Structure 1
């Protein structure tokens, strides 16, 4: 039916596997109830029409009997025959008559009337009967002549009566079907229009980024939709407050830890110098080694705090709010390599730079932090005495900044987890915070780009590619 077709056409883009469409249910309910009401109303109308029609036909049978009774007084003693002329008169009324003697002989009959009496001649006078003759059901009225004793039996086939009902039903069928089709179309349009605020709200929610917890716009006058939007906005407000509190705590804790860690590193350095001056002590070499390990632990803690502080600053940012400048790519890469030069020298790793990009639009500090983490990881986890290559090149409408090493690389099963916070590959034997790649991925996201992983130099090692769309500074 038409309303089912419209229901299928109006399904939502995204429906849970075991859910249902509210739009479909509304259309099916309204149109289905209208169809049922229409069918019941039609049945009631037809029942009333059938009753009134039967009463009218019964009146016609009664009047016809009186007419035949008056015209057939001369037939009381005549032979039985079919009266064609009077049969035609009865046919004009859709009736068939019989004039039956007191003994049950049919004296006269209509052209289509049966040869035997419809009912027993001794049946009650002035009465209607339903009888079956020659395989057909008839509605028969009996009227007896008081003086002459003969009776008139006038009948009508039930099929003639029901044909009128069938014709009426056939005449109603197509208008009703057309009406229901129009009703389905109108209901589909009205339901779609009334549910449009929900669709707009869903689209607005789908367009939000994970960091966008701003209130959902409410442009509907429907109280039901307003209550949902109000409850949703309250939830978003509470979630925003909770996340803001978490970020503030992380930033404050990281900031407060920087000062004591810096003081502790300075004190350890002073102690190392003191013990270095007193080499005569038997305990001096052991203490110097312990102090060096303690200094390395403090350095790792300081790096962890710095990374946490950096993430706390990046998390609340959105890509639309990133202030970009025109960056000299060669200078950026040189600054990053210079920052990591001491670590590379300590592991005898040669770092080379290839830059085919003159300038790009981006946030300098964030890109510097991301690339420094990528290069630091390549030096830290690469092969001692190996190579690391830092490159920048154009690729279609993007700029690719890659850091590749020739170290042991990362197992394929771990590649998808590298950007998870605090995830570290086991078995490397190297300490780290597990936040460097998370920072790089977040910086790429804020610049509208991606961070991908692949093979490193000469088909070995790890290659990390930061891909950023080309855009103007703003």
Structure 2
């Protein structure tokens, strides 16, 4: 079960935003606590101030009006009494019943639950003058303005979070450009370009170990490819000399013992094996030459497909006559811009493959022309059918289908694939409607 990929960029933005949200909420909670504490302190001091003014002021003068202004401004209710009578109270005093209960309680601050609301109360008693003061205030009044401040703070906080998200998204995306460039440089690497990767500026320390490891891997891979190509070329050259010597001795033996039929047939079998070995070596040399080739530097010129087809058929005419195969050609002459030598080898390998796998008195069908702004070349033969497993592996080096009695090196189709790739074309293998293999080339 595969897991979906996670974007590191998105993860960094989410982590940054989460830390900011947590920090903002902690600051908001601290602000609430500090604001509540300060508000309670200030409001309690105002209640204490009103109580002191009631104790010492002459209520018939301006002091009384100042007390009323304070009580109205902060919605504070008060009551002044002595042991026998009520001296004064605010214009609206709702806690008469509570005041009688509070007169018997200790001085100081306390809370009262009255009419489904919580009240803050302050009581003071002067033992000399026998005056008793009760000051009350609904607790929700204290936090009315404070709640509006909290809402404003939250709106500002959300705005800051939104702004931070935009800034983080822009800056993190900008910081990821070196990583994206590095990814692009890695994606552009191929067998033709295994040069070292240079970390884009500015260099990131976290990327340096990865870049170093990639460069070491590219170096080892380049050395391995060079060693493989050198080994293929050297081995082919070294094996060509003894094969040539065997070929010469075989020719001498065939001329000396032409009158012995049994020996002649055995020598012919050896000759076939030598020819096959020589063909394998030629194909290996060709692959060694094609592997490091760059398609940009490939020399090209305009080639007539019809002329190319006829030239290939002339070289394969002995094989065609030997199996008495009928060639059917259907196509309009067209030209391709390609390397004449390599395309000739490709077409020859395809036709040779079709001839080898066609039955005696079989048929080969060749079709070419224009299709969707491309040149196509199609060749198919009749036969006993091709399984999907075989189709999937066609083009692998040295691969030959099991059970076939046809001789071959298993390199022909892999050479064709390499040549078509060098021309930025496509090669397609599928079962032919005639029972054999259908190979279609698409070139510009």
Deviation for aligned residue 1:108: 4.6
Counterparts of 1:38-437 in structure 2, within 5 Å, are: 38-70=24-56, 90-102=71-83, 108-110=88-90, 111-118=92-99, 120-125=102-107, 127-224=108-205, 225-277=207-259, 279=260, 285-354=261-330, 356-437=332-413
Deviation for aligned residue 1:364: 1.4
**Counterpart of 2:441?**
466
Matched, 1:35 2:35: no
Deviation for aligned residue 1:389: 3.4
**SS at 2:98 equivalent:** coil
CA distance, structure 2, for counterparts of residue 23 and residue 106 of structure 1: 74
CA distance, structure 1, for counterparts of residue 16 and residue 158 of structure 2: 16
CA distance, structure 2, for counterparts of residue 73 and residue 151 of structure 1: 15
Q: Deviations 1:26-62 (Å, cap 9, x if unpaired)?
A: 1112222122222222322332222222111111001
**Counterpart of 1:77?**
none
CA distance, structure 2, for counterparts of residue 253 and residue 106 of structure 1: 123
Deviation for aligned residue 1:214: 2.8
CA distance, structure 1, for counterparts of residue 191 and residue 79 of structure 2: 93
Q: Which moved more, 1:148-157 or 1:210-219?
A: 210-219
**SS at 1:62 equivalent:** helix
Count matched residues: 437
CA distance, structure 2, for counterparts of residue 38 and residue 89 of structure 1: 36
Q: Is the 8 A contact 1:87 1:112 kept in 2?
A: no
Q: Is the 8 A contact 1:404 1:463 kept in 2?
A: yes
Question: What TM-score do the two structures reach when normalised by structure 2?
Answer: 0.90
Deviation for aligned residue 1:210: 4.8
Q: Is the 8 A contact 1:329 1:355 kept in 2?
A: no
Deviation for aligned residue 1:384: 0.8
Q: Deviations 1:351-401 (Å, cap 9, x if unpaired)?
A: 355552343211112111111111111111101122223343222321112
Q: Deviations 1:211-270 (Å, cap 9, x if unpaired)?
A: 432333433212324443343223212211111111111111112212211221222232
Q: Is the 8 A contact 2:229 2:288 kept in 1?
A: yes
Q: For residues 180 and 85 of structure 1, do their structure 2 counterparts lie closer, same or farther at Cα, with a shift above 3 Å needed?
A: closer
**SS at 2:118 equivalent:** strand
What is the Cα-based RMSD across aligned positions, in Å?
2.7
Q: For residues 268 and 69 of structure 1, do their structure 2 counterparts lie closer, same or farther at Cα, with a shift above 3 Å needed?
A: same
CA distance, structure 2, for counterparts of residue 18 and residue 463 of structure 1: 39
Q: Deviations 1:401-457 (Å, cap 9, x if unpaired)?
A: 22222233422342122112222122321122111111111111111111112454x
CA distance, structure 2, for counterparts of residue 369 and residue 89 of structure 1: 107
CA distance, structure 1, for counterparts of residue 10 and residue 204 of structure 2: 22
**SS at 1:442 equivalent:** helix
CA distance, structure 2, for counterparts of residue 326 and residue 46 of structure 1: 83
**Counterpart of 1:9?**
none
Q: Which moved more, 1:116-125 or 1:286-295?
A: 116-125
Q: For residues 405 and 176 of structure 1, do their structure 2 counterparts lie closer, same or farther at Cα, with a shift above 3 Å needed?
A: same
**SS at 1:215 equivalent:** coil
Deviation for aligned residue 1:73: 7.9
Q: For residues 133 and 353 of structure 1, do their structure 2 counterparts lie closer, same or farther at Cα, with a shift above 3 Å needed?
A: closer
Question: What TM-score do the two structures reach when normalised by structure 1?
Answer: 0.84
Deviation for aligned residue 1:339: 1.9
CA distance, structure 1, for counterparts of residue 86 and residue 215 of structure 2: 92
CA distance, structure 1, for counterparts of residue 214 and residue 37 of structure 2: 60
The structure 1 residue matched to 2:419, chosen from 418, 424, 443, is 443
Deviation for aligned residue 1:102: 3.4
Which runs of 5 or more residues in structure 1 are unaligned?
1-15, 75-82, 280-284, 470-474
Q: Deviations 1:254-303 (Å, cap 9, x if unpaired)?
A: 122122112212222321222213x3xxxxx3332222222212222221
Which runs of 5 or more residues in structure 2 are unaligned?
none
Q: For residues 227 and 86 of structure 1, do their structure 2 counterparts lie closer, same or farther at Cα, with a shift above 3 Å needed?
A: closer
CA distance, structure 2, for counterparts of residue 208 and residue 115 of structure 1: 90
**SS at 2:216 equivalent:** helix
